[in-house]
Structure 1
Amino acid sequence: MNALGDAHLRTWTLRFMALLAAGTSDQLAWLGERELETKDVVEEVELLCRVSEGLAERGVFEPADLRGLRAVGRRLGEVDARSRSGPWGNALATDPVWDDIRSLARQVLLTTLGDWRQPLPPPARPLTDDH
């Protein structure tokens, strides 16, 4: 991958970590009226954690950053199928696994950026009939 693509993937990974690190009320506000499925969030973060391996090989992430991202990926891998079903907003409010993931994501941001409080990514626009 080229440097621009690597930088984009690093930015997207850290923005998603910021979303995972945010408090529940901030996450729910970010979701707004959107129905984002828990399984989609888990799959996206697992993918970003896997991609981070290659980014670390190219020097985009430091070894300490990668350790934290691996921990997030491992914890997400432990989320069972039942906990992956349904809207993410419901899971945030009821499933304690998201508290663990929040803590791990905060540690990633502390290690990588020096502060876990980061701007959240722009909210995904809801699908419309004309996409």
Structure 2
Amino acid sequence: MNHLGDAHLHTWTLRLMALLAADPQDQLAWLGERELDTKDVVEEVELLCRVSEGLAERGVFEPGELRDLRAIGRRLGEIDATCRVGFWDNALVTDSAWGDVRSLARQFLLTSLGDWRQPLPRPVRPQSGHH
């Protein structure tokens, strides 16, 4: 990892995977009162999965990690537009795709860190004036 941006993206990927791998009740507790759009979560993870290709070329991710990230990206790509509407807390409990993503994220963390149980990222404070 010779690029500062690479290190940041690697860290962000690990944090996001920790959130995706967490048990549903922990994910809901992390969300708290935040209203996070499902579409935004899907797009963020898909972007990181696409960026991981270049990161792997630079040695940031190992082949096994890249394989796991590709699987997550494919599964998210299968979530149709109607299931991307609404808040993520609702999607977590109503759409089985998130159970699949949880399993794939756990596999990524097992491959990468040896344990899927990782601390959840610090929640980002809601932006003022944002609804």
TM category (shorter chain) comes to: over 0.9
Runs of 5+ unmatched residues, structure 2:
none
Partner of 2:103: 103
> Aligned equivalents of 1:49 and 1:66: distance in 2?
8
Partner of 1:113: 113
What is the Cα deviation at residue 129 of structure 1?
A: 3.4
Partner of 1:55: 55
Q: Deviations over 1:14-59 (max 9, x none)?
A: 1100000000000000000000000000000000000110100000
Q: Deviations over 1:99-124 (max 9, x none)?
A: 00000000000001100001111112
Runs of 5+ unmatched residues, structure 1:
none
> Aligned equivalents of 1:129 and 1:35: distance in 2?
13
> Aligned equivalents of 1:54 and 1:129: distance in 2?
36
> Aligned equivalents of 2:2 and 2:30: distance in 1?
31
Q: Give TM-score scaled by structure 1 length.
A: 0.96
What is the Cα deviation at residue 2 of structure 1?
A: 5.0
Runs of at least 4 residues off by over 3 Å: none
**Letter matched to residue 23 of structure 1:** D
> Aligned equivalents of 1:124 and 1:24: distance in 2?
19
Partner of 2:29: 29
Of stretches 2-11 and 17-26 in structure 1, the one that deviates more from structure 2 is 2-11
Partner of 1:16: 16
